Amino acid sequence: MAELHKVAQARRARLRAALLGSAAILGLGLVTLEQPAWSQGSPPPANANVAAVPDEGYADLAAAVMPAVVNVQVESTAGPEGSARTPLDDPEMRRFFERFFGQLPEGARPQRPPRERRMQGEGSGFLISPDGYIVTNNHVAGNASKITVTLSDGSEYEATLKGADEKTDLALLKIDAGKPLPYVTFGDSSQVRPGQKVIAVGNPFGLGGTVTAGIVSAVGREIGSGPYDDFLQIDAPINRGNSGGPTFNLKGEVIGVNTAIFSPSGGSIGIGFAIASNQAKLVIDDLRDDGKVERGWLGVAIQGVDEDLAKALNLDKPQGALVSRVEENSPAQKAGLRRGDVVLDFNGKPIERVAELSRAVAAVDAGTRAEVTVWRDGKRETLRAEIGRMPAEQQVAAVTPDADEAEQPRLGVSLAPLTADTRQQLGIEQQVDGVVVTEVTPDSPAETKGIQPGDIIMSIDQKAVRDPREVAEAVRKARADGKSTVLLLIMREGQQLFEAVPLATS
């Protein structure tokens, strides 16, 4: 037995030596484990395996920022699903019957559509000032007829939409709480790096204020949502109810506005996108000033440069923004830009991708002179352009009228400038000037008179119009002069016709 005991001891010694040697090779540290007293047969104490945890994670940060994060509930209206339509619902067909038969046949008169359905939605937002300004997404509140904001203490307030920007999916709300409110500030998203820790705060699934943590996966993401894409990709779980909520760095600064997720199921799979704070701050400042965003305009159509194009253009690598079209009388044309130029720098900032040029030009105030470096005929050339103001789109369709605008006259149409692309699509000759109808509001004066998307409004009350703002001004002047209708000259499918449209109020 003594010999067996010695053999066992020797075997344990060799095994211990082998373990120590393996640990050294692998760079592992070993510690000597003392056998606990309760292993001798007595049961362990209740807290035997509980150790003090000094790190409480993100609790202090969450406690500091959550009072400024709000829940946004919205109501909106939509047309009834599955409502039956007949050929006589078409304005042209109605006029045909009325012209040749005097009146519509009995029982064939189009029925007024059923009442619109009321829809409800929910999202998140955050206070950026003590007087009640709130940032959220355009897709949360941009089309709402009623907005209710709930603060972290449970108090509710009706909110006003001060402005929204569809191109960046941002909206600005305002509540009047009658007292200073907790708020958060924007940080510098240009300093954000992949791998940086962040937390996202919002209201997913209506559960109330919720905090999730993760890291920044990437910066400068372009996901095809608009011409000014500049997203942070984060892996903190972001769900649908988080839309409009903030992403914070560890200093408690907002570095992104949560806006989109990539998910086949609708829930978070760890790929979320937040609008970079530097872009969000510029847009929100504009919305706060006058309810709309004014962007710089160069007047070019651009595309990316791939490997094949780079070779054909004698570029060292794929870079820049290739000019495919220059608008007539645009700042670009006046500066001498040409089709085939590749923009490499804008105001000293290198342009690697198309979206970078779009964002850089948009951020410049109209009237500012900018240096544009292009690649032309195998060499660099610097041009100077005076940046213009981006032409208005759908100016007649106001985002949210203020109280003093509530009784403004309207036609019930959305309008856009008549661009070269629009002319080509609709077959409009160059000598024809006007604005194009992009949308007609149901049951509006314009719809009752048969105005259609694609119509070109050439004049109002015998005065030519070339910009949506001129249309809005002409309508306001007609009401101020005591008129109840305006006379429109319309071009439709190459034919010109007059139409007298009554005025309504918003």
Which contacts of 447-451 are long-range, i.e. CB under 8 A and separated by 24 or more positions?
447/91, 447/412, 448/91, 448/502, 449/91, 449/499, 449/500, 449/501, 449/502, 450/91, 450/92, 450/95, 450/499, 451/411, 451/413, 451/488, 451/490, 451/499, 451/501
Number of H helices, E strands in the chain: 11, 29
Q: Is 139 designated active site? A: yes
- Residue 370: C-alpha distances to residues 123, 296, 331, 332, 348 (Å): 40, 11, 10, 11, 9
Q: Which residues contact 389 (CB under 8 A, 6 or more apart)?
A: 294, 295, 296, 297, 366
Q: Is 467 designated active site? A: no
| Residue 416 token pair | 């856009």
279 and 359 in contact (C-beta within 8 Å)?
yes
Q: Measured at the alpha carbon of residue 244, what is the angle toward residues 55 and 121, in degrees to the nearest 5?
A: 120
| Residue 267 token pair | 């829930």
DSSP state string for 426-485: HT--TT---EEEEEE-TTSHHHHTT--TT-EEEEETTEE--SHHHHHHHHHHHHHTT-SE
- HEC sequence for 171-210: EEEECCCCCCCCCCCECCHHHCCCCCEEEEEECHHHCCCE
Which residue out of 124, 189, 217, 243 is catalytically annotated? 243
Which residue out of 165, 169, 235, 345 is catalytically annotated? 169
Q: Is 124 designated active site? A: no
CA distance 106 to 100: 15
Q: Which residues are catalytic?
A: 139, 169, 243
